A and B are shown apart, each in its own frame.
Chain A
């Protein structure tokens, strides 16, 4: 019995730290409607700063707590700077832009931290005065955990006090409910947004700073916490601080007991809980429908068949790709194969989110599912390459069919979060299911059939498969089915009113997008010869989003341009030291300068310089 009580206390202590970071994320989302991926970076910075302050000042109890608060305050200032320099310029952009921009910030902070603090993990000192364990029912409980259990509710109380008793807090709550109305009432939104972002950053920094005595400070802290923080915010209802508190307790306590039954569950459990909550309560425990509204989007121009210029460009590009093996340069062929795979992956994601309006933060799941299914088919079922290449996408489509059934019930940010959860669950399973997937070691030695093993032959095979799939996707976009998806994105009410079962069509669209991602996955696995859990990870899903956004969401050619640019930039940049910083900066520049993507930006440039039309 006492053991379970100790386990409960551990869960509650974890809940406190999780709540601190999630509450900040929730406040920021509530006011600014930005899904802030950089929140984990602020948390990490809080930990690093507090580590430095504590160890250099070394002033006992007062010094420790002073350092923690000072670190959080510095993080608040950094957060304010990020808001003013980056986010303020893109509040009107689609939510995806904001996500990608904050991911650019993640990359930059990564390398800044690496430059300042170095790559080694750092173990901080225990908190002075709280360094021992006390016995409760005979079980040793760290004093510091007890302190955290007090701090969590204390901070919640302070936030609620701030929200209910101050003008600022009331404005924040009002903005969470109805941002347009608050603007119409003449409230200074700039100040409100910046200050809300700073308060959120302060909480993230505080959460990180308080972790120093509990875990070593490392460069992995940002991405390791962000997934779980998102889950907490979504379960609680986006914008609800009380919800975040409740959700943090549910997740942490469930985890504390879950690991007793099934030790590996901690990777998957939060996402499972989130999936269940979202299916039962689509806006989270304390959320309202208002919280789902994202930024306004500009209506897209009607789809046009390929123009003459487009046909010329496409033909020239295809001729170039056909002629490429003539160079007889293995490096170029491998790079071009990567480009083709990325193009198909990005186009399948664009089909889902650009055409269908269903934003997925976890599209890599189906890419990975296809790759793993093909690899397992070759290794365990002994399938030859071509049947395995069919088997992979079929399994990816099945996975998308299952997860899509849940996902299409939601929209906007909540849909995005559920797709993220689905991907995390699959990633966790891949990671844990050692005997089938090889876990962290992946599956190796999946090479093309002998007839296709030549560099040029495999390249042509990849070109045929990816090119064919891209043509099919384009065809689909112009088909009645594609139009139904676009119509459902424009106006679900209108779609239903003309007798369309929108959800069923979206479900099919989700499945088709998953299948195409699976096709990209099988080409990938045979070109690399191996597959690892990273293919399903958040990072790879975000790569896909970046490709789509680089190219521009509003054009069918966008993802192709974006994918090519992404692979080429990545290939060039990753050879440099501090490539994350450079890559993050490139992302930010593109988001800020060409919010309609490379294709859109070039289009605008073209309209500026093209010869004027003859007067009619």
Chain B
């Protein structure tokens, strides 16, 4: 059973086909990586899946529900979460309040006028923060957080509405190598326990080959390969795309 089914997705900007006829499926509970060189169309793809960009043609189905044409908000309500390449948090709130906001929205309490926002869903927020190892920082202002912790906070926010699908755009961008693997280990342990299906883009091949169940390779707007880590490594097309990138795939990681 597929969590997300993408068929013939296409988007052109002016004369440039950023994404041309992309089809793939995200299986239930799968950790799927979307990789490709800069400008391959990864973020464009992501933005079409999350409703931030309207595709020229094609379809995106969540189970049986067509997502194309829905607003990002509607797509979120249907259970598709998203994290951003550059973190977006509410800087004038504490870490816990950030998570509470997601819970308040999920429970449709944004039009409450009489209660105190900070008293709503405290336990749920605390549990989510504990889940991403941020419990000790719950009362800190989000503005003070280190970058790696902001990423964790975003993860907690993304889990607040119990998503069935999580779209993670460059989840480890801007982090130190040791932090990257730790964050992705955390992500993969959480999503496997919760049964969330994850599609993520990533530049760090260590992260991709360590964690992804399956890998999609995008180049110039089309999918050129699809398969497990070893299959992708062995694929001559992929090696060609990552010019001289042969070393990336073989040398240091043959034993990975």
**Binary per-residue interface labels of chain B (91-110) against chain A in the complex, 1 for a CB within 8 Å, 0 otherwise:** 11110010011101110011
Is the CB–CB distance between A497 and B88 below 8 Å? yes
Q: Which of A302, A482, A498 contacts B157 (CB 8 A)?
A: A498
Within 8 A of B (CB), among A514-563: none
Q: Which of A480, A497, A501 contacts B120 (CB 8 A)?
A: A480
Is the CB–CB distance between A496 and B72 below 8 Å? yes
| Contact of B76 with A by CB under 8 A | yes
Within 8 A of A (CB), among B103-142: 104-106, 109-118, 120, 141
Question: A478 and B92 in contact (CB under 8 A), knowing A498-B101, A498-B160?
Answer: no
Within 8 A of A (CB), among B150-198: 157, 160-161
In the complex, chain B residues whose CB is within 8 Å of the CB of A494: 88-90, 157
In the complex, chain A residues whose CB is within 8 Å of the CB of B73: 496, 499-501
| Contact of B82 with A by CB under 8 A | yes
| Contact of A39 with B by CB under 8 A | no
A-binding residues in B (CB < 8 A): 72-73, 76-77, 82, 84, 88-94, 97, 100-102, 104-106, 109-118, 120, 141, 143, 157, 160-161
| Contact of A314 with B by CB under 8 A | no
| Contact of A301 with B by CB under 8 A | yes
Question: A479 and B84 in contact (CB under 8 A), knowing A300-B92, A490-B92, A490-B93?
Answer: no
Question: A480 and B112 in contact (CB under 8 A), knowing A302-B94, A490-B92, A497-B82?
Answer: yes
Rounded to whole angstroms, the CA-CA distance of A481 and B143 in the bound complex is: 21
Rounded to whole angstroms, the CA-CA distance of A299 and B160 in the bound complex is: 24
Is the CB–CB distance between B115 and A479 below 8 Å? yes
22 A-B pairs with C-beta separation under 8 A: A299-B143, A300-B91, A476-B113, A478-B116, A479-B113, A480-B117, A481-B112, A481-B113, A483-B93, A483-B100, A483-B101, A483-B104, A486-B92, A491-B88, A491-B90, A497-B84, A498-B161, A499-B73, A499-B76, A500-B105, A501-B73, A505-B110
In the complex, chain A residues whose CB is within 8 Å of the CB of B115: 479-480
Of chain B, the residue at the smallest CB distance from A298 is B143
Is the CB–CB distance between B76 and A487 below 8 Å? no
Knowing that A480-B115, A500-B105 touch, tell me 7 more A-B residue pairs with CB under 8 angstroms.
Answer: A303-B92, A476-B113, A483-B104, A490-B89, A496-B72, A498-B106, A500-B73
| Contact of A453 with B by CB under 8 A | no
In the complex, chain B residues whose CB is within 8 Å of the CB of A475: 113-114
**Binary per-residue interface labels of chain A (452-483) against chain B in the complex, 1 for a CB within 8 Å, 0 otherwise:** 00000000000000000000000110111111
Q: Smallest CB–CB gap between A195 and chain B, Å?
A: 35
Is the CB–CB distance between A301 and B101 below 8 Å? no
Is the CB–CB distance between A479 and B117 below 8 Å? yes
In the complex, chain B residues whose CB is within 8 Å of the CB of A497: 72, 76, 82, 84, 88
Is the CB–CB distance between A487 and B109 below 8 Å? no
Of chain A, the residue at the smallest CB distance from B83 is A497
Is the CB–CB distance between B110 and A500 below 8 Å? yes
Of chain B, the residue at the smallest CB distance from A483 is B117
Where chain A touches its partner, the secondary structure class is helix
In the complex, chain A residues whose CB is within 8 Å of the CB of B141: 299, 301-302
Q: Which 9 A-B pairs have the closest CB atoms?
A: A300-B92, A299-B143, A299-B91, A494-B88, A483-B117, A499-B76, A490-B90, A480-B112, A498-B102
Question: A499 and B106 in contact (CB under 8 A), knowing A301-B141, A494-B90?
Answer: yes
| Contact of A290 with B by CB under 8 A | no
In the complex, chain A residues whose CB is within 8 Å of the CB of B113: 475-476, 479-481
Is the CB–CB distance between B120 and A493 below 8 Å? no
In the complex, chain A residues whose CB is within 8 Å of the CB of B160: 498
In the complex, chain B residues whose CB is within 8 Å of the CB of A500: 73, 105, 110
Is the CB–CB distance between A478 and B117 below 8 Å? yes
Of chain B, the residue at the smallest CB distance from A477 is B117
| Contact of A12 with B by CB under 8 A | no
In the complex, chain A residues whose CB is within 8 Å of the CB of B111: 480-481, 505, 508
Q: Which of B72, B82, B97, B110 contacts A481 (CB 8 A)?
A: B110
In the complex, chain A residues whose CB is within 8 Å of the CB of B76: 497-499
In the complex, chain A residues whose CB is within 8 Å of the CB of B94: 302
In the complex, chain A residues whose CB is within 8 Å of the CB of B77: 499
Is the CB–CB distance between B116 and A302 below 8 Å? no
Of chain A, the residue at the smallest CB distance from B106 is A499
In the complex, chain A residues whose CB is within 8 Å of the CB of B88: 491, 493-494, 497
Q: Smallest CB–CB gap between A405 and chain B, Å?
A: 18
Of chain B, the residue at the smallest CB distance from A472 is B113
Of chain B, the residue at the smallest CB distance from A481 is B113
Rounded to whole angstroms, the CA-CA distance of A490 and B161 in the bound complex is: 21
Is the CB–CB distance between B92 and A302 below 8 Å? yes
In the complex, chain B residues whose CB is within 8 Å of the CB of A478: 116-118
Q: Smallest CB–CB gap between A476 and chain B, Å?
A: 6
Rounded to whole angstroms, the CA-CA distance of A500 and B72 in the bound complex is: 10
| Contact of A38 with B by CB under 8 A | no
Q: Smallest CB–CB gap between A596 and chain B, Å?
A: 14
In the complex, chain B residues whose CB is within 8 Å of the CB of A486: 90, 92-93
